[in-house]
């Protein structure tokens, strides 16, 4: 049977024969106390199986050690990577991460932000710069340290850590153009919800247009990105049979779908068709032909955000850049 641990600070104080504040000082190793007192308190705490109540501690002392993190998805490795960087740095500083997953739904994001704010977190991280007006208002008025991650294309509220998605799109287009590809199609996932993917393709088309070109075809699967969606998207494009020499995918997962479809159908990469992705996932590096893609510093973004969240940093924008990986598919 589970016996609730009801021991409180007062219980420990009584057991040790000292005052509550003394116990508090000893347990937090803050302020002064004699060695002898310290031992008695620690012994009593251990004996009673005392577990401090952070809820009470936080209420009494103002600042909480919680950091809220609202991310859009856990369906691929991208945000887990960000979370990994953040949680590691946070834990090292004695903070705890409270997470919520919005599934790329702005209304849910808004509700989650409100919900997180109710815990009076030391800082709140959100993905991207686009939020509902109400969410923006909540964030701006909260007085909490706000960190917007993974995007730098647009105004930020407090601190932004990431890179320019628009520039990722531009660089990707420049690469394909430099390799001589001219008849390029786009295969993407739901852009209405993934605003960063929308910025990438916008930057991509900008460069194409500047070169007097345009996308030959474009297929947007109305679901979240996935390997299957990439496969289905390329299948539809191929069915429409435009003359094509390259496909730009909204991310690596989508591109993998395309890659293996080509492999299965005997379409040679990049001879018959070049493939370009985004994210720089590990698996792309070990493919028979390494995927041409853009690597983003996801773990580092999380870690940097965590550091900034716990320091008393001024509002700022941190550009961690990205790396175009030439690979062998485009």
Partner DNA sequence: TTGAAAGCGCTAACAG
Partner DNA sequence: CTGTTAGCGCTTTCAA
Contact residues for DNA, defined by CB under 7 A: 6, 8-10, 17-22, 24-25, 27-28, 30-34, 36-37, 50, 52-53, 56-57, 59-62
Phi, psi of 132 (to 5 degrees): -65, 155
Q: Does residue 56 bind its own copies (CB under 8 A)?
A: yes
Dihedral sign of CA atoms 51, 119, 125, 108 in order: positive
Q: Does residue 154 bind its own copies (CB under 8 A)?
A: no
Q: Does residue 243 bind its own copies (CB under 8 A)?
A: no
| Block residue for tokens 């509220």 | 157
**Residue nearer to its own copies on the CB measure, 72 or 203:** 72
Q: 3-class SS at 77? A: coil
Q: How many helices (H) and strands (E) does the chain have?
A: 13, 12
Residue of 10, 43, 107, 283 interacting with its own copies (CB under 8 A): 283
Q: Does residue 104 bind its own copies (CB under 8 A)?
A: no
Q: Contact 73/101 with Cβ under 8 angstroms?
A: yes
Instruction: Work out how close the CB of 154 gets to its own copies at its nearest, in angstroms, rounded to a whole number.
Output: 19
Q: Enter the tokens of residue 322.
A: 């990205």
The torsion angle over the Cα atoms of residues 55, 61, 62 and 65, rounded to 10 degrees, is: -60
Pairwise CA distance, residues 123 & 121, whole Å: 5
Q: Does residue 226 bind its own copies (CB under 8 A)?
A: yes
- Contact set for its own copies, span 179-218 (CB under 8 A): none
Looking from the CA of 72 toward its CB, the CA atoms found within 13 Å total 21
Q: Which of the listed partners (its own copies, DNA, none) does 32 bind, with a CB threshold of 5 to 8 Å by partner kind? A: DNA
What Cα–Cα distance (Å) separates residue 101 from each residue in 80, 106, 147, 162, 305? Answer: 11, 11, 16, 19, 18
**Residue nearer to its own copies on the CB measure, 44 or 83:** 83
**Residue nearer to DNA on the CB measure, 43 or 107:** 43
What Cα–Cα distance (Å) separates residue 283 from each residue in 184, 255, 291? Answer: 24, 11, 9
Q: Does residue 305 bind its own copies (CB under 8 A)?
A: no
Instruction: Work out how close the CB of 146 gets to its own copies at its nearest, in angstroms, rounded to a whole number.
Output: 8
Instruction: Work out how close the CB of 61 gets to DNA at its nearest, in angstroms, rounded to a whole number.
Output: 3
- Residues at the interface with its own copies (CB under 8 A): 2-6, 49, 51-56, 58-59, 64, 66, 74-77, 79-81, 83-84, 87-88, 91, 96-101, 103, 112, 114-120, 138, 140-144, 146, 158, 226-228, 231, 256-257, 260-261, 263-264, 282-283, 285-288
């Amino acid at each position: 049977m589970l016996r609730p641990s009801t021991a409180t600070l007062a219980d420990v104080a009584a057991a040790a024969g000292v005052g509550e504040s003394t116990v508090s000082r000893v347990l937090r190793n803050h302020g002064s106390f004699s060695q002898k007192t310290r031992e008695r308190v620690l012994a009593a705490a251990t004996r009673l199986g005392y577990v401090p109540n952070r809820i009470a501690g936080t209420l009494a002392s103002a600042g909480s050690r919680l950091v809220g993190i609202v991310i859009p998805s856990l369906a691929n490795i991208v945000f887990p990577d960000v979370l990994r960087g953040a949680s590691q740095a946070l834990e090292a500083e004695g903070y705890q991460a409270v997470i919520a997953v919005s599934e790329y739904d702005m209304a849910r994001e808004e509700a989650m932000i409100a919900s997180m704010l109710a815990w009076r977190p030391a800082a709140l991280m959100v993905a991207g710069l686009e939020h509902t007006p109400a969410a923006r208002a909540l964030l701006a008025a909260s007085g909490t340290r706000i960190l917007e991650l993974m995007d730098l294309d647009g105004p930020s509220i407090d601190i932004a850590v990431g890179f320019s998605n628009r520039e990722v799109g531009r660089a990707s287009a420049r690469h394909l153009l430099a390799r001589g590809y001219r008849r390029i199609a786009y295969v993407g996932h739901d852009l209405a919800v993934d605003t960063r993917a929308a910025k990438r393709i916008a930057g991509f088309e900008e460069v194409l247009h500047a070169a007097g070109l345009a996308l030959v075809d474009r297929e947007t699967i109305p679901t979240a990105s996935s390997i299957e969606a990439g496969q289905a998207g390329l299948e539809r494009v191929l069915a429409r049979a435009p003359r094509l020499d390259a496909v730009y995918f909204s991310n690596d997962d989508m591109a993998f779908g395309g890659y293996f479809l080509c492999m299965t159908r005997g379409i040679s990469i990049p001879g018959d068709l070049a493939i370009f992705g985004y994210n720089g996932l590990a698996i792309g590096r070990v493919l028979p032909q390494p995927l041409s893609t853009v690597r983003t510093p996801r773990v580092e973004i999380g870690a940097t955000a965590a550091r900034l969240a716990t320091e008393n940093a001024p509002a700022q924008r941190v550009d961690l850049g990205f790396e175009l990986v030439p690979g062998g598919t485009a």
